[in-house]
Chains A and B, each alone.
Chain A
Amino acid sequence: QVQLVESGGGVVQPGGSLRLSCAASGFTFSSYGMHWVRQAPGKGLEWVAFIHYDGIHKYYADSVKGRFTISRDNSKNTLYLQMNSLRAEDTAVYYCAKEVTGSYYVDYWGQGTLVTVSS
């Protein structure tokens, strides 16, 4: 069965960096686009970034553009989110999610990893 397991969350100071990982299994990872979506405590869902199956095309929300980088290693079935210049407003649970090809929706989500930006 499809499994997405995020890791790498934690507490970081404002201006710091963190790299999240999402280990995928149960499907052909290299064939699917992947998203990062976040949820601040007590708030709604916010789309963060998307990467095509081949890792070439990437898209970002304006709120993270220039600070976050999405990438993937298809040989390791792993999705990444490199987060730099972190701000308090980046505090959230970060979910990775698998897109249904060419459809603009996701059918599987990970359990999420919490990132807290605080001094």
Chain B
Amino acid sequence: QSVLTQPPSVSGTPGQRVTISCSGSSSNIGSNTVNWYQQLPGTAPKLLIYTNNQRPSGVPDRFSGSKSGTSASLAITGLQAEDEADYYCQSYDNSLSGWVFGGGTKLTVL
């Protein structure tokens, strides 16, 4: 049972827009920033979005993040086949004094 809650799976067709939600509480998302990681099959995670809505260099602007209250979202526009991956949200939890992850969302491009 993950501290942050994500839908297990989402899907979309090429060119579509999809969103992945991440729900937490006042001790994590409500008090701290949210980061998103993309994990392609068989590879290590990769930083996708940091500090709620910032993209590292090299990440396409099709990926965007937002945060409101105790929830956050990752949006992917212009869906492409290579976006098929697992996506994880992550924050810091003040009560646990450590990082927390969402359970991960598997994105399928139909």
Report which A residues bind B (CB closer than 8 A): 35, 37, 44-47, 50, 59-62, 95, 100, 103-107, 109-112
Contacts and interface: CB of A to CB of B under 8 A. Distances in A.
22 contacts: A37-B45, A37-B99, A44-B2, A44-B86, A44-B88, A44-B102, A44-B104, A45-B37, A45-B88, A45-B101, A47-B98, A50-B99, A61-B96, A95-B44, A103-B50, A104-B33, A104-B35, A105-B47, A105-B50, A107-B47, A107-B50, A110-B44
B60 interface: no
Interface string B19-40: 0000000000000110101010
Given A44-B88, A45-B88, A95-B45, A105 B51 contact: yes
B46 interface: yes
Nearest to A62: B96
Given A60-B98, A104-B33, A105-B50, A45 B44 contact: no
Contacts, number: 59
Interface string B45-79: 11100110000100000000000000000000000
Q: How large is the interface on B (under 10, 10 to 19, 20 to 34, 35 or more residues)?
A: 20 to 34
A111 B44 contact: yes
Given A59-B97, A105-B51, A109-B46, 11 more contacts: A44-B88, A44-B102, A45-B45, A45-B90, A50-B98, A95-B45, A103-B50, A105-B35, A105-B47, A107-B56, A112-B44
Contacts of A37: 45, 99
Indicate the member of A37, A60, A110 with the most B CB atoms within 10 Å: A37
A44 B39 CA distance: 10
B86 to A, nearest CB: 8
B100 interface: yes
